[in-house]
Structure 1
Amino acid sequence: MDILLQVNVAGEETKFGIEATEVDKYIRIISQMNHICLKGLMTIAPFAENPEEIRPVFKKLYQIYIDIKNKRLDNVTMDYLSMGMSNDFEVAIEEGANCVGYHMWTCMDNWSWTNAYKNRYGFISVDLDKEGARTIKKSGHWFKQVADDHGFD
């Protein structure tokens, strides 16, 4: 199974992921697992009005990513560095992100606290008035087609 390891670089209590100081320990454990392949790292930086304020978070994860890549461990390819959200992805790309866009949690219907829960995101819409009836959105059909075609042309 291919995985990305989420690192809580900023140490925020409201975010998941392992602490940056624990990464090496977990990487070594994962490298010994026969059915797990670590494909990269991911993080969600703290929200900031000015994306420049969180540049150090992206710099730190990029350095961890490079350090791991240079170890050339079994079952650890480090193909992906996923960082950046809609308000800071440009800075994330400048700092080495090569995976920006949909993440696993976008498959479900969810709301963003950053805009007072006004926008709904995800491939599947959940109707809260109809006992949670689910409807696949256009983006869900698009993603299915991409998956069926094994990617883009």
Structure 2
Amino acid sequence: MSYKEMTIWSTLVVTIGLLSYYLLGINSLQAAGDLSQETMVSYLYKVVMIAVILEIIMQSVLASIKHKEADLGDDERDKLIELKSTKLGHWFCSAIILMCVFLATQIERVSGRMLLPEVSDLYNIMHFLIIGFLVSEIITIASKAYLYRRDS
């Protein structure tokens, strides 16, 4: 497996793990009755820090293992795969953003019936945006992995 594919698969695993960690953590905070705006924000900071640290460690390890391939640049195939997969992730992310904008315009109608009733409507919309962003990243990375496997 090439360096590019290894980084794609490891990033996919880390991103799926982060989404799972975020959702399970918010769910456990809600089940314990500890979910508030402050705990939600502090938990989000924790998830972001873990994401940055894991990505740095993962990229460093892979670059040290495949140091010759890591120095090579992208070819035309890599750029085309990047463009196609980014397009898919962008469409999903745009749809989530439009859904959240619509939700914000209808806030009087849906207030109190959100997914997380313990926090304000603004934090519920933020929660949807975070999930949407992570799923968009998963779509982008998974489509890269698929396109690399399909072309090889």
Do both proteins adopt the same fold according to a TM-score greater than 0.5, normalized to the shorter chain?
no
* TM interval, short-chain normalised: under 0.3
More helix per residue: 2
TM-score by length of 1: 0.27
More strand per residue: 1
Larger radius of gyration: 2
